[in-house]
Amino acid sequence: MPLVSPTMSPTESEAEDEQEQFKREGRKDLHLTSKQMLSHNVDTLIPDTEVEAKRNQLPDDLPIVECIARARIPTTQGPEIFLHMYSNNVDKKEHLAIVFGEDIRSRSLFKRRSDDTQSARMTRGAYVGRLYPGRKMADKDERLGLEMHFDTNGDILPDELQIHRDPTLVRIHSECYTGETAWSARCDCGEQFDEAGRLMGQNGHGCIVYLRQEGRGIGLGEKLKAYNLQDLGSDTVQANLLLRHPADKRSYSLATAILLDLGLTDIRLLTNNPDKIIAVEGKKRLVHVTERVPMIPLAWQKRKGIESKEIEGYLRTKIERMGHLLSKPN
């Protein structure tokens, strides 16, 4: 079940007609037009009653997640990342957190276990600082002068000297084989993934939660069928519906649970989707989105980006039918 109901945003003409009716009846506006939607943040985009209605659809309890392993990854673009692999109690998929910054640490990974050894902790990635040949202690890096401390339950304590106090830049990214691996110009998923990494690399701090929910949650095979329906004239929403899927089947409760495990409760969220903000914060708002950071297509910024008739239709559907906060410059 999707975390936010896959209802469609009204088209611009529908929204304007509805507003005219509200004016005639002396009622307050319940919707903004498409043009208004593009210039408002989420706090002014959706009325409080609608936000609460959507929030109430979210599950009461979050999934249980556990970080199984973490490793330092030098990248081809320069910045190093720490790749975290998560298990959970709702599916058998391996969801990931791509972390920029050594000070963002998983509580489940670093927790001391009754049968732990320093070698086992280093092997699974529960170490401070950097690994090097001959290192014996996971909890202390003598070369960098770093040491971890734990409470009586074995939970890691934050290092007050290292803690990053500003809200962390975060991207919740759903897997897209076609856009990230097969060079697809039908969507901007690969571009958004790369751009999020570039921004976090520049900042030296951030997290991409990578969820294994291909094709807005319908899977790769169904997604390819949807592409064929799009070539026959459907938009991305219509294609999903014709295949008897919701317009958007994705869930973000796993992302919320992963952010909490990483201690990321105040975040700046890279997104154009106002529904994602509500979903990531969760029903109990254990995560707080302090700022929405827009993701503007590179081609619209006059930078080298995706240009195709398919991407134009894809973005138009996001704006007109799914309420995404995008405005193409003149």
The one catalytic residue in 171, 250, 292, 321 is 250
- Whole-angstrom Cα distance, residue 268 to residue 199? 12
Question: Which pLDDT does position 161 carry in this prediction?
Answer: 52
Q: What is the pLDDT of residue 11?
A: 38
Query: Can you list the residues of the chain whose pLDDT is less than 50?
Result: 1-19, 21-42
pLDDT of 254: 96
Task: Indicate the pairing of strand 206-211 with strand 95-100.
Answer: antiparallel
Q: For residue 263, what are the CA distances in angstroms to 125, 157, 168, 278, 320?
A: 17, 11, 10, 19, 35
Q: What are the beta bridge partners of residue 87? A: 66
Q: What is the pLDDT of residue 287?
A: 96
d(CA 284, CA 270): 21
Please identify which of the residues 188, 248, 261, 275 carries the catalytic annotation.
Answer: 248
Gap between the Cα atoms of 111 and 148, Å rounded: 11
Q: Where are the domains of the chain?
A: 53-112+150-213+251-322, 217-249
C-alpha distances out from residue 99 to 14, 104, 243, Å: 42, 7, 36
Q: Tens digits of per-residue pLDDT, 186-230?
A: 999 999 999 999 999 998 899 999 999 998 889 999 999 999 999
Residue 68 CA, chain-centre distance (Å), reads 20
Distances (CA, A) of 254 to 3, 9, 156: 11, 25, 22
**And the tokens for 12?**
């611009």
Is residue 250 flagged as an active site residue? yes
Q: Are 303 and 195 in contact (CB under 8 A)?
A: no
| Per-residue pLDDT tens over the stretch 78-122 | 889 999 999 999 999 999 999 999 999 999 999 999 899 999 999
CATH topology of domain 53-112+150-213+251-322: Rossmann fold (3.40.50)
Which residues make beta-bridge pairs with 170?
207, 269
**CB 314 within 8 Å of CB 1:** no
How far apart are the C-alpha atoms of 109 and 209, rounded to whole Å? 16
CA distance 318 to 310: 12
How confident is the model at residue 205, as a pLDDT? 93
Query: Looking at residue 45, what is its pLDDT?
Result: 56
Nearest one of 75, 101, 97, 99 to 87, comparing CA atoms: 97
Of the candidates 28, 30, 29, 35, which has an alpha carbon nearest to the alpha carbon of residue 12?
Answer: 35
User: Which residues fall within 8 angstroms of residue 48, CB to CB, at 6 or more apart?
Assistant: none
pLDDT at 48: 75
Residue 248 annotated in active site:
yes
